[in-house]
Amino acid sequence: MIELRGCRKAFPGRDGQAPVVVLDGVDLTIRAQEFVCLLGPSGCGKTTLLKAIAGLVPLDEGEIRIDGRSVTGPGNDCAMVFQDFALLPWADVLSNVAFGLELRGVPRATREQRAQELLAAVGLGGFERHRPRQLSGGMQQRVGLARALAVDPKILLMDEPFGAVDAQTRRLLQEDLLALLDRTRKTVVFVTHSMAEALRLGDRVVLMTSRPGRVRDTIEVGLPRPRPPDIEKHPRFVELKDYLWQQLREMNA
């Protein structure tokens, strides 16, 4: 379980200007093995909140607890998947996936076997010795996902991971992610700007306000799993998408 209480974060202003408050009073509880999507206007602090959960950004006020333990820095509970892939360009695909295990001192044979299993699971068996530059954007993101799963984290933190690929690839990656999570049962916190993506993937959608970011609403999606390809035609999907759009349009007015 992830508990966020009174989370506040400000960054220094430029050229002597006042600090920019990005998050202010965020309260949220995320249940174990729940898929929660963070949705809100640009600049509302979604990525900052994600990095705070990972222990990469310290809060000015408030606290984040994972399974009752306060987050004071990076730990083994979380792994992140970024929009820009963040792969090591000089290393092959197998080494990229095994990198986190190498940092943890896992023997080479063990980490490479784990990496090969995950590459097969994300449809990249046979690409172990390719370099990232030899792969498409969608394939690179699959490598990033496999790398995050390799260390077997309790929590997967995903920062607009499919935002840099085309619409068709994005849909395929969404389906791949859901299939993988059906097998691995992780807690997922997923940042997105897409209402459809949030509803297609999430158990709940947390709607944040314009900066400074606060929780405006929390929506239980309530759609069946596994999600069928035509889930967007479901009356509940249409209703929730209309509601989210009304809320976002009101905040941007």
Write out pLDDT tens, residues 32-80: 999 999 999 888 899 999 999 999 999 999 999 999 999 988 888 899 8
Other Cβ atoms within 10 Å of 242 Cβ, number:
11
Assess whether pLDDT exceeds 90 at residue 221: yes
The whole domain housing 112 covers: 87-152
Residues 26 and 124 grouped into a single domain: no
Which stretches does DSSP call E strand in the chain?
2-11, 20-30, 35-39, 61-66, 69-70, 78-81, 155-159, 187-191, 204-208, 215-220
Q: What is the pTM of this model?
A: 0.91
Overall number of domains in the chain? 2
Residues 188 and 242 grouped into a single domain: yes
Average pLDDT, stretch 110-121? 91
Confirm if 215 and 45 have CB atoms less than 8 A apart: no
**pLDDT value at residue 253:** 65
Helix, coil or strand: residue 68:
coil
Residue listed under structure tokens 């059906």 = 182
Residues 240 and 169 grouped into a single domain: yes
Beta strand pairing call for 187-191 and 155-159 = parallel
Assess whether pLDDT exceeds 80 at residue 89: yes
